[in-house]
Chains A and B, each alone.
Chain A
Amino acid sequence: MIQHDRISIVVVDDDAFQRFFAVKLLETLGYRAHEAAAGPQALDLLRETGAPILLCDLEMPGMDGHELVRRVRAQDSGEDGAYVHVIMLTASEQSRDRDVALEAGVDDFMVKPLDQATLSARIGSVRRLIEHEALLKQRTQRLAEANARILEDLNAASDAQRRLLPDAGGRFGGLAFHAAFVPSQILSGDMFGFFELQDGYVGMHTIDVSGHGVRASLKSVALGHLLTAAYYTGNGFDEDGIPDPARLVARLNARFYHEGHEEYFTMFCGVLNTRDGVLHFCNAGYQPPWLGRADGRVEALDAAGFPVGLLPDMGYETQAVHLMEGDFVFLCSDGATEAENGDGRALGESGVKAVLDRHAREPASIPARLQATLDGWREGRALDDDLTILICERTRT
């Protein structure tokens, strides 16, 4: 809080007697006064002392009051220039002078001769403004600090989220994974994973939590921790040991369905037998996968299903597809299909498929190719939704 008696005031007047009188009055009132006999000297003093108030005579030889105020305003309009409150002394209540002075940036007027009561009242009202400014500045400072802390936390959370994702380019069991992950905000509601299970099986999933931002990302991270190889082994097979990802998805639905809200996620969940190339999968409302064949053909898999956590007791279905050597499964979030160009047209499934058709023989290149296509489609504008691309390729031996 600014102390009343510490406030500095610059007094500028070419008339030594008037100046002396004003200084004495201000000192009597408990302010610290600095004298200047001319405009340029007053500007220097304002800079040196940081005084928030200027008591300024209108008529001065050389730089007059109007010109001085214009310079003061030019000076304090900078990034961290503190505002100088200007009170102008005039000989009379000439309204034309006052219009010019207001235009130049004067805040208040006083008519000579000065008297202590009026001066005290006018400076007092400026003092209240200055104290209020200081309070605002303090609050702004606190908000800026809080904002910086939140951003730092978000970035840390974003790093943690990325560390949860497997390394793109993973290879095991005769498979190669290719992936891309682009959050639309610092944090993402998307999640994907793949890992080895027992007996030559590999588990994989892609997830898109409804909504964006912190809330969605917390759920996606929780899912990332939950969906481990052990969870797949315990929930992703039927009693006879046959992969049944629909069973796992139904478990998740029971776990994440709650009355009273409609937060949910869509998910592709697959279990691939690396010995024979059979992929059992359950698609719970995720953008349906495409199957790329070794000879370059690309087919859309007809795979629909209820999202997870939206409605209770929904039936989920396990489907199967056979991957030959050189075949791949392609998954992407709706961040790709729903990406709109400048005319509001979505890239659509056909736009994504066009990329797949062109590059089906080099699946490793597809994540970068699709991202480049999206960049072009968006003309460089960032995506509105999180983007995940995951490809599981059964490599040739």
Chain B
Amino acid sequence: MMIRTKKDDASDTVVVQPGAERLTAANALQFKSEVVDVIDGGESRLAIDLTEVAFIDSSGIGALVGVLKKLGNRGDIVVFGLSKDVQRMFEITRMNRVFPAYKDRSTALGAMADGL
């Protein structure tokens, strides 16, 4: 198991920590399939914690989008804690328009709670 999850009841959101400093071709598929398992387990509101993630490559972006597609219209996904490099990657690929991004856990979960 790679990811760590924790449910925040107030916002009805599962916080997902990738459990890796780098989200790359080496682990992107595993990451995606583990998060998809969380969704298959009945969760539909996710906040991906990227605080510990220093680097995301193209496969990592692909995995995040795969999770988003899996959720479809049935759920919500946000990200938070983007490092400067990851933030730049999100800007260049416009993923900042696909994934609402928040500074940290509390602002992310606050926004999720507001959306309830």
Chain A residues close to B by CB (< 8 Å)? 208, 210-212, 259, 261-264, 266, 285-288, 304-307, 310-311, 314, 334, 338, 346, 348-349, 385
**Do A338 and B57 have beta carbons less than 8 Å apart?**
yes
Residues in chain B near residue A286, CB distance under 8 A: 92
Q: How many of chain B's residues touch chain A, expressed as a range?
A: 10 to 19
Residues in chain A near residue B92, CB distance under 8 A: 285-288, 304
Residues in chain B near residue A210, CB distance under 8 A: 58-59, 61-62
Residues in chain A near residue B65, CB distance under 8 A: 262, 310-311
Q: Determine the residue in chain A with the shortest Cβ distance to B54.
A: A344
**Of listed A262, A266, A285, residue having the most chain B CB within 10 A:** A262
**B94 CB–A CB distance under 8 Å:** yes
Give Cα A358–Cα B92 distance, bound, in whole angstroms: 25
A235 to chain B, nearest CB (A): 21
4 nearest A-B residue pairs (beta carbon): A262-B62, A210-B58, A285-B93, A262-B66
Q: Determine the residue in chain A with the shortest Cβ distance to B29.
A: A262
7 extra interchain contacts, Cβ-Cβ under 8 A, other than A211-B59, A285-B94, A314-B94? A208-B58, A211-B58, A288-B92, A304-B94, A307-B93, A334-B57, A334-B58
Can you list 12 A-B pairs with a CB-CB distance of less than 8 A? A211-B25, A259-B69, A262-B63, A262-B66, A288-B92, A304-B93, A305-B94, A306-B93, A311-B69, A334-B57, A334-B58, A346-B85
Residues in chain A near residue B57, CB distance under 8 A: 334, 338, 385
Q: Determine the residue in chain B with the shortest Cβ distance to A314.
A: B94
B69 to chain A, nearest CB (A): 8
**Do B94 and A306 have beta carbons less than 8 Å apart?**
yes
**Of listed A263, A314, A338, residue having the most chain B CB within 10 A:** A338
Q: Determine the residue in chain B with the shortest Cβ distance to A348.
A: B85
B53 to chain A, nearest CB (A): 13
Residues in chain B near residue A338, CB distance under 8 A: 55, 57
Give Cα A59–Cα B107 distance, bound, in whole angstroms: 85
Q: Determine the residue in chain B with the shortest Cβ distance to A306.
A: B94
Give Cα A259–Cα B70 distance, bound, in whole angstroms: 10
CB contact list, B86-104 vs A, under 8 A: 88, 91-94, 98
Residues in chain A near residue B32, CB distance under 8 A: 262
Chain B residues close to A by CB (< 8 Å)? 25, 32, 55, 57-59, 61-63, 65-66, 69, 85, 88, 91-94, 98
**Do A310 and B91 have beta carbons less than 8 Å apart?**
no
Give Cα A44–Cα B57 distance, bound, in whole angstroms: 61
Give Cα A285–Cα B32 distance, bound, in whole angstroms: 21
Of the residues B25, B62, B88, contact of A310 by C-beta under 8 Å = B62
**Of listed A305, A307, A348, residue having the most chain B CB within 10 A:** A307
Residues in chain A near residue B55, CB distance under 8 A: 338, 346
Give Cα A210–Cα B98 distance, bound, in whole angstroms: 18
Q: Determine the residue in chain B with the shortest Cβ distance to A259.
A: B69
B103 to chain A, nearest CB (A): 21
Q: Determine the residue in chain B with the shortest Cβ distance to A283.
A: B92
**Do B98 and A311 have beta carbons less than 8 Å apart?**
yes
Give Cα A288–Cα B92 distance, bound, in whole angstroms: 7
The answer to whether residues A212 and B93 also contact, given A266-B58, A338-B57 and a CB cut-off of 8 A, is no
A36 to chain B, nearest CB (A): 57
Give Cα A263–Cα B93 distance, bound, in whole angstroms: 14
Q: Determine the residue in chain B with the shortest Cβ distance to A305.
A: B94
B23 to chain A, nearest CB (A): 13
Give Cα A381–Cα B63 distance, bound, in whole angstroms: 28
Q: Determine the residue in chain B with the shortest Cβ distance to A209.
A: B58
Residues in chain A near residue B66, CB distance under 8 A: 261-262
The answer to whether residues A304 and B91 also contact, given A211-B25, A310-B65, A338-B57 and a CB cut-off of 8 A, is yes
Give Cα A306–Cα B61 distance, bound, in whole angstroms: 11
A268 to chain B, nearest CB (A): 11
Residues in chain A near residue B58, CB distance under 8 A: 208, 210-211, 264, 266, 307, 334
Q: Determine the residue in chain B with the shortest Cβ distance to A265.
A: B58
Of the residues B25, B85, B88, B93, contact of A266 by C-beta under 8 Å = B93
B101 to chain A, nearest CB (A): 14
A277 to chain B, nearest CB (A): 26
Q: Determine the residue in chain B with the shortest Cβ distance to A312.
A: B69
A253 to chain B, nearest CB (A): 12
Q: Determine the residue in chain A with the shortest Cβ distance to B85.
A: A346
Residues in chain A near residue B63, CB distance under 8 A: 262
